[in-house]
């Protein structure tokens, strides 16, 4: 068997939909998840593309995520959209709540959307990029399971707690979007090093004895560390409070207590904030952002966050997504 | 002369007011700045206390900050408070705008305050702590002058770009507040190492040749680096866009072009976001935050951000602020 197989993005989408439906998702949920998976593959984000489909399917089959979840969107305050995900996967509540979030942000200047009872297992940039495509600034915050130590600590407490930021651009450019974990490394990166017998850099984590280690197995048994020392840990703490605190979703350590070992996502909280630069009277916002970006690109090897994704986006829709053949076979098995 | 002199907090306040007024500040501006300086000394934050007063005075005398600035506060959208600082120092516009920000956040669930034409030279935690004392979550963002390289770059572009986060607490606890630069080190820390002939750790910056260095003089001539590599640089970029972009204040490189070498602050932008947990229906917010904090404190050497400040706050109002005698003499000279 060849090691890789190339799928068109339409094939990625329909294969993902089929695997999810065969695992118990209804059409609306399968479509929303497949959309996020397909956009990840379009941008070359292998770690959040088809690679995640088996995890989604396991969570559906284990009953950890409801396949027929029907999220409810309500405006809980003039600036607050609240979504109850009905214990399903995150893409559908995110897709259903986002139009109201955008409308409220334009009306009010700033708006927030909190989501609870939904399982986030994807990248964050697909949640916020559509807002920036409509001219809005956006930030988002998601917590997860207890993997990361607080500043100075040695026990897992915070999730890898990613946050993202999206900024609209002028002149037909795709928005500038970044999306990053508060941990020094993604958990998957450490798992892959363990599988392949490689060591990990110092700073990724501590062993179960609380001591620094470069052995990925010890980090997985012990605790991950935040990026950038205590400053990254402060970001992780903020994400925990914004994502789980405001939504009433599970704190990362609470999610751990509920977790049944299914390998899929848990029901944490999510927060998305959207702002309309026009409401601030910042009528030169887009051109000033472009001047800033020009200065970044003038600086030799400096680059804009997300530029590799956008380069992939120009190429992959034509060339197709190159996937591990074994993964494609596994997902075809799930879809059968 | 003794090396230190101990002042009561009342003496800190009146000395600061006198120095500012003698340098051209009117009563309202002198009071607002003195309040921020006094709160910094109360919390043992020497770097943002009386130490900053000569810089404020120089900026006033150089005309870089108007001593009689009369900030204008307006509600520009249902969720947006906008403050024009009238080219003065930041504490007065911050103090005048904050009550409206808090009121709007309670009404709308989330609100933003953008400030332009004001010179920020203080810590950020005093801006947001009063909001958390009223039960609101708050974040703030301020840019400065071009000191820090973008990800992968070698030229100064971003400010040290601090952000802060404040979370209300139950049970009479002071709010949990953090406040941190996006740069690996504060600029003052590098200046002090240069003055004292010490080296700085790797990662603080690059020399004018674009190469890593531990020589603080070379970093000051070259460029500072963000904390935590490209992730910290992404935070610095976000702060630049949120602080200067939405307010229309000067981007850090624009502030540099206007800077006349006075040693005081420049007119950048500031953004404060406030959220009311009650508006999200998060009725167990405070108790869940307390459970999270308990877990942090259960973890051996782990600590909550800001705990040293709060320990100082319990002690310094009784014992007084211990200041370098030379600094006190200098500020007395400015007040004379």
- How many percent of chain B have pLDDT more than 70? 100
Question: Which has more confidence, B228 or B266?
Answer: B228
pLDDT of A289 above 90: yes
Within a domain: residue A132?
Answer: yes
* Chain B residues near residue A107 by CB distance under 8 angstroms: 78
Residue B114, classed as helix, strand or coil, is strand
CA distance A247 to A75: 13
Across the interface, whether the CB atoms of A80 and B108 are under 8 A apart is answered yes
Q: How many angstroms separate the CA of residue A34 from the nearest CA in chain B? A: 28
Residue A45, classed as helix, strand or coil, is coil
Of A11, A14, A173, A189, catalytic: A189
Q: What are phi and psi of B323, to 5 degrees?
A: -120, 155
Tell me which chain A residue has its CA closest to the CA of residue B151: A302
A169-200 residue pLDDT tens: 998 999 999 999 999 998 888 988 999 999 99
pLDDT of B44 above 80: yes
* Chain B residues near residue A288 by CB distance under 8 angstroms: 244-245, 251
Q: How many angstroms separate the CA of residue B215 from the nearest CA in chain A? A: 21
B234 reaches A (C-beta below 8 A)? yes
**Bridge partners of A289?**
none
For B224-237, what is the mean pLDDT? 98
Within a domain: residue B85?
Answer: yes
CA angle A100–A103–A108, rounded 5-degree value: 120
Q: What are phi and psi of A29, to 5 degrees?
A: -70, -40
What does the buried/exposed string (b/e) look like for B59-80 if buried means 16 or more CB atoms within 10 Å of the residue's CB? bbbeebbbbebebebebbbbbb
Question: pLDDT tier at B260 (50, 70, 90 boundaries)?
Answer: confident
pLDDT of A209 above 80: yes
For B254-275, what is the mean pLDDT? 88
A residues 52-91 near B, CB within 8 Å? 76-80, 82
Within a domain: residue A313?
Answer: no
Which 8-state DSSP code applies to residue B243? I
What's the number of domains chain A is made of?
Answer: 1
Nearest to A248 among B79, B80, B282 (CB): B282
B220-230 residue pLDDT tens: 999 999 999 99
Catalytic status, residue A74? no
Across the interface, whether the CB atoms of B110 and A112 are under 8 A apart is answered yes
A303 reaches B (C-beta below 8 A)? yes
For A283-291, what is the mean pLDDT? 95
pLDDT of A1 above 70: no
The predicted pLDDT at position A156 comes to 96
The predicted pLDDT at position B1 comes to 63
The predicted pLDDT at position A320 comes to 98
ipTM > 0.95?
A: yes
A15-63 residue pLDDT tens: 999 999 999 999 999 999 999 999 999 999 988 999 999 999 999 999 9
- The 3-class SS string of chain A reads CCCEEEECHHHHHHHHHHHHHHCCCCHHHHHHHHHHHHHHHHCCCHHHCHHHHHHHHHHHHCCCCCCCCCCEEEEEECCEEEEEEEEEECHHHHHHHHHHHHHHHHHHCEEEEEEEEEECCCCCHHHHHHHHHCCCEEEEEECCCCCECCCCCCCCCECCCCEEEEECCCCCCCCEEEEECCECCCHHHHHHHHHHCCCCCCCCEECCCCCECCCHHHHHHCEECECCCHHHHHHHHHHHHHHHHHHCCCCHHHHHHHCCCCCCCCEEEEEEEEECHHHHCCCCHHHHHHHHHHHHHHCCCCCCCCHHHHHHHHHHHHHCEEEEHHHHHHHHHHHC
Mutation pick from B158, B166, B234, B254 vs chain A, by most beta carbons of A within 10 Å, is B234
For residue B296, give both structure tokens. Answer: 């942090």
CA distance B314 to B43: 8
Mutation pick from B72, B74, B77 vs chain A, by most beta carbons of A within 10 Å, is B77
Contacts A–B by Cβ distance under 8 A: 245
The predicted pLDDT at position B297 comes to 95
The predicted pLDDT at position B175 comes to 98
B residues 155-214 near A, CB within 8 Å? 155, 157, 165, 167, 178, 180, 184, 210
CA distance A121 to B29: 50
Catalytic status, residue A257? no
For A119-134, what is the mean pLDDT? 94
Across the interface, whether the CB atoms of B107 and A78 are under 8 A apart is answered yes
pLDDT of A264 above 80: no
Q: What are phi and psi of A267, to 5 degrees?
A: -90, 85
For B163-175, what is the mean pLDDT? 96
pLDDT of A227 above 70: yes
The predicted pLDDT at position A66 comes to 96
The predicted pLDDT at position B62 comes to 92
B281-328 residue pLDDT tens: 988 999 999 999 999 999 989 999 999 999 999 999 999 999 999 999
Within a domain: residue A34?
Answer: no
The predicted pLDDT at position A229 comes to 95
CA distance B305 to A151: 8
Within a domain: residue B19?
Answer: no
Residue B89, classed as helix, strand or coil, is strand
The predicted pLDDT at position B127 comes to 96
For residue A41, give both structure tokens. Answer: 């593959």
Within a 10 A sphere around the Cβ of A50, how many other Cβ atoms?
23
* Chain B residues near residue A137 by CB distance under 8 angstroms: 241-242, 245-246
Across the interface, whether the CB atoms of B246 and A149 are under 8 A apart is answered no
Element (H, E) at A101: helix A91-108
pTM: 0.97
Across the interface, whether the CB atoms of B296 and A153 are under 8 A apart is answered yes
A141-167 residue pLDDT tens: 999 999 999 999 999 999 999 999 999
pLDDT of B263 above 80: no
- Domain containing B102 — which CATH number? 3.30.1370.60
Within a domain: residue B213?
Answer: no
Catalytic status, residue A47? yes
Mutation pick from B79, B240, B254, B303 vs chain A, by most beta carbons of A within 10 Å, is B79
Tell me which chain B residue has its CA closest to the CA of residue A232: B228
Mutation pick from A202, A271, A279, A306 vs chain B, by most beta carbons of B within 10 Å, is A279
pLDDT of A336 above 80: yes
The predicted pLDDT at position A283 comes to 85
Which 8-state DSSP code applies to residue B68? T
CA distance B83 to B139: 17
Which structural domain, as residue segments, surrounds residue A138?
73-183+226-308
The predicted pLDDT at position B259 comes to 84
Question: pLDDT tier at B69 (50, 70, 90 boundaries)?
Answer: very high
Within a domain: residue A122?
Answer: yes
Across the interface, whether the CB atoms of B234 and A303 are under 8 A apart is answered no
- How many percent of chain A have pLDDT more than 70? 100
Within a domain: residue A116?
Answer: yes
Question: pLDDT tier at A122 (50, 70, 90 boundaries)?
Answer: confident
pLDDT of A256 above 90: no
């Amino acid at each position: 068997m060849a090691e890789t197989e190339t799928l068109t993005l339409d094939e990625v989408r329909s294969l993902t939909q089929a695997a999810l439906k065969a695992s118990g998702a209804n059409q609306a949920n399968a479509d929303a998840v497949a959309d996020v998976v397909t956009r990840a593959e379009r941008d070359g984000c292998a770690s959040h593309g088809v690679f995640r489909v088996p995890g989604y399917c396991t969570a559906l089959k284990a009953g950890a995520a409801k396949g027929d979840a029907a999220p409810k969107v309500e405006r809980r305050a003039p600036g607050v959209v609240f979504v109850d995900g009905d214990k399903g996967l995150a893409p559908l509540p995110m897709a259903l709540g986002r139009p109201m979030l955008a409308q409220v942000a334009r009306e009010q200047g700033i708006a927030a959307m909190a989501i609870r009872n939904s399982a986030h297992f994807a990248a964050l940039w697909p949640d916020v990029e559509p807002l920036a495509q409509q001219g809005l600034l956006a930030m988002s915050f998601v917590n997860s399971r207890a993997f990361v130590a607080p500043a100075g600590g040695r026990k897992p407490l915070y999730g890898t707690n990613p946050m993202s930021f999206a900024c609209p651009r002028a002149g037909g450019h795709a928005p500038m979007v970044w999306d990053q974990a508060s941990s020094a490394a993604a958990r998957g990166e450490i798992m892959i090093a363990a599988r392949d017998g490689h060591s990990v850099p110092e700073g990724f984590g501590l062993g179960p004895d609380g001591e620094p280690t470069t052995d990925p197995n010890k980090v997985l048994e012990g605790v991950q560390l935040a990026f950038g020392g205590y400053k990254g840990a402060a970001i992780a703490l903020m994400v925990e409070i914004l994502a789980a605190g405001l939504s009433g979703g599970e704190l990362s350590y609470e999610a751990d207590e509920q977790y049944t070992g299914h390998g899929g996502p848990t029901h944490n909280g999510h927060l998305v904030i959207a702002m309309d630069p026009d409401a601030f009277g910042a009528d030169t916002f887009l051109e000033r952002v472009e001047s800033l970006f020009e200065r970044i690109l003038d600086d030799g090897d400096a680059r804009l966050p997300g530029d590799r994704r956008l380069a992939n986006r120009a190429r992959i829709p034509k060339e197709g997504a190159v996937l591990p053949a074994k993964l494609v076979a596994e997902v075809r098995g799930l879809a059968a």
